[in-house]
Amino acid sequence: MIIEIILALLLGIIIGTITGITPGIHINLVSAILLGLSASLLTFVFPIVLVVFLVSMAMTHTFVDYVPSVFLGAPDEENFLSILPGHEMLIKGEAYSAIVYTLYGSLSGLLIILIFSPLFFFFLPIVYPYAEGIMPFILILTCIFLISFEKSSRLWAFLIFIISGLLGIATLNLPVKEPLLPLFTGLFGVSSLITAITKKQTIPPQKIMPLKEITLTRVSFFKSIFASIIASPLCSFLPGMGSGQAAVIGSEVTGDLDRKEFLVLLGAINTIVTGLSFITLYTINKARTGVAVAIGEIIKLSISNLVVITLVIFASGIISFFVTIFLARYFSKIISKVNYQILSGVVLLILFAVVFYFSGFLGLLAMLVSTCVGLTCIYAGVRRTHMMGSLLISTILYYLL
Amino acid sequence: MKTNLKICLALSLFGVLLLIFLSSHLTPKQYLTADITKESIGDYVRIKGNISYIKNIEEGEFYILTISDSTGEITGTLNSKDLNINKSQTYIFSGKIEKYENETQININKILSYDN
C-alpha cells in the first residue's frame, strides 16, 4: 500500500507537470476526465491511492502552470493575473525571477495551509451556515468592491463585468461538454495570445540569477503573505470566486502591491485555495475546486485521509518547486531563440484543437465570442478580473432565483 | 486602439446575443434511458418519460426523481422553487448526465410537458 501511494505521488507529479506546462489545460478538466475513468481505475487501486494521485497532480499543476502563463501568455482562469506582471518581467528579461517569486508564494502557501488548517477545520462549520444564508449578498458586495477598485474606468469595468456575466449564462446553458473550457480559454488565453501576435512582441535573452539573489524585503514578503491570508478564505468558501479576484481584494486591503509582491501573493493564494479545498470538502461538504469534486466522488473523507492529503500536499509541493525551477531555467534559455509569434500561433492552434476535441463546434463558437470579450477588456485597459463576472453573475442568480 | 475597441465590443455584443439565442433554442439529442451509460457523463440529453418517483428535499427547492421510459429508468435531480408536475403526464426532460456515487443521473434544467 505504501509503495502504491509513493508511486501515485510520483505519477501525480509527472502528470501535473505535463498538464501544467500545456497551455490552456486546466486542472479541473483533467480531474473531470479522471473522474470519468475512476470507476475502471478503482477496480485495481485503493480509493486513497487515486486520491493521492489527484492531490499530487493538482498541487504540481498549481506550481508549474506559471511557466506557460509567464513565457507564453497563455494563462488559465486561476493565474491569468500573473500574465501582466509576469509578462512585463519577461519583456525585461526577468521571466525566471517572475516564476521564482510565484514559487516563493506557493512554498509559503504550504506553510499557511499547515497553520490555518486547524482554524478552518473548527471555525468553518460554525461560520458557514450563517454565511450561506447571505451568500448572494456577500457576492454582490464583493462584485461592487471589485468594480469600485478599478483605477482606469469604472464604467468600462462595469460593462465588461455585465457582458461577461451574460456570456457566462449563455455558455453554461449551451449543450456542450466542459463549457468552462471555451469560456476561459477565450477570455484569458486566446485574447492574450492574439495581443502578443499582433504586437509583434520580441523577447530579449532572459537572465537566470541564483535563487539567493532573487529576494524580497521582509516587509514586502510579509505584506504579500498577509494579503494571501486575507484573500484565500474568500475563494475557499465563496462559490464563483476565483483566486484572481481574491488577489485583487487582498492587494487592495493591504495597499498597492508591486509586481514582485503581487506574484508572491498569487502563488500563495493558488496553493492555499487548492490545499484548503480538501478541508472545505471535509468540514462543510462543499467542493470548491474540480479536484475536490473528483475526490468527493471517489472517497468519503476521514481525518486519516486528511492527514495523508496534507502530507501529499507538502511532498508534491516541495518536489514541484524544484521541477518548476528546472522548467523555468530551460524555457529562459530557449525563449529568446524562438520566434515568439510562431510559438504563440502554435499555442493558439493547440488551444483550438483542445476546445474542439472537448466541446465541439459550439464550444469553438463560445470560445470565439469569449475571445472578443477578452480583447474588449484588453483594449479598454481595465483589469481582467472583471471578466470573472462570467461565473459570479450566474452564481448570484442561482442563489437569488 | 479605439477602432479595435469598438470592433471588439460590437462583436462581443453580437456574439453574446447569438449565444443567448442558441442556448435557448438548441435542443440536445434525445436518448432512451437504456442508452445512457458511463460514457454519456458530461453529455446534454433529452429524455421522454414519466415520473415514477419524486421526493423533495431542502424545503421543496431540491427534488430527486426517477424518470421511466419503455427501456428502463434513471434518477434525476432538479433545483426548483415552483415545481408543478403530474405523475400521469409524459414529459421531456433536458439536462446534463452526471455521476453521483458511481451511478449516472441527469441533472435536469428544463421540463416540458409532452402532448401526444
What pLDDT digit, counting tens, does each position of A234-272 carry? 777 677 676 777 777 777 777 677 888 888 888 888 888
**B94 located within any domain:** yes
Task: State whether A36 and B9 contact (CB < 8 Å).
Answer: no
Sign of CA dihedral A355, A189, A323, A233: negative
**B103 located within any domain:** yes
Closest residue of chain A to B40, computed from CA coordinates: A36
A373–B contact, CB cutoff 8 A: yes
CA dist A335 to A114, A196, A321, Å? 36, 14, 21
Q: Pinpoint the alpha helices (H) of A134-242.
A: 135-148, 154-172, 180-184, 191-198, 218-237
B41–A contact, CB cutoff 8 A: yes
Q: Predicted confidence band at A24 (pLDDT cuts at 50, 70, 90)?
A: low
For the purposes of burial, counting CB atoms within 10 Å of the CB of B52, is it exposed (0-12), middle (13-18) or buried (19 or more)?
Answer: exposed
Enclosing domain of residue B74: 28-113
**B70 located within any domain:** yes
CA nearest to A58, candidates A291, A339, A280? A291
Name the residue ranges covered by the structural domains of chain A: 2-150+206-339
For residue A167, what pLDDT is reported? Answer: 95
Taking only the tens place, the pLDDT of each residue in A232-244 is 777 776 776 767 7
Residue in the block written with cell 508591486:
A258
ipTM here: 0.73
Taking only the tens place, the pLDDT of each residue in A171-208 is 988 888 778 888 888 887 788 788 878 877 677 888 88
Taking only the tens place, the pLDDT of each residue in A119-165 is 888 888 888 878 777 878 888 888 888 888 787 888 999 999 999 99
Q: Which of B6, B11, B14, B16 to mutate to test the interface with A (most CBs of A within 10 A)?
A: B16
Task: State whether A176 and B44 contact (CB < 8 Å).
Answer: yes
- Backbone phi and psi for residue B110, each to the nearest 5 degrees, phi listed first: -150, 135
**B15 located within any domain:** no
Task: State whether B5 and A376 contact (CB < 8 Å).
Answer: yes
Choose among B13, B23, B102: nearest Cβ to A173.
B23
For residue A14, how far is the Cα from the chain centroid? 19
Closest residue of chain B to A187, computed from CA coordinates: B12
**B22 located within any domain:** no
Residue in the block written with cell 516587509:
A219
User: Do A138 and A347 form a contact (C-beta atoms < 8 A)?
Assistant: no
Instruction: Supply the CATH number for residue B65's domain.
Output: 2.40.50.140
CA atoms within 13 A on the CB side of B27: 12
User: Do A269 and A109 form a contact (C-beta atoms < 8 A)?
Assistant: yes
A32–B contact, CB cutoff 8 A: yes
- Backbone phi and psi for residue A141, each to the nearest 5 degrees, phi listed first: -60, -40
B57–A contact, CB cutoff 8 A: no
A171–B contact, CB cutoff 8 A: yes
Task: State whether B26 and A368 contact (CB < 8 Å).
Answer: no
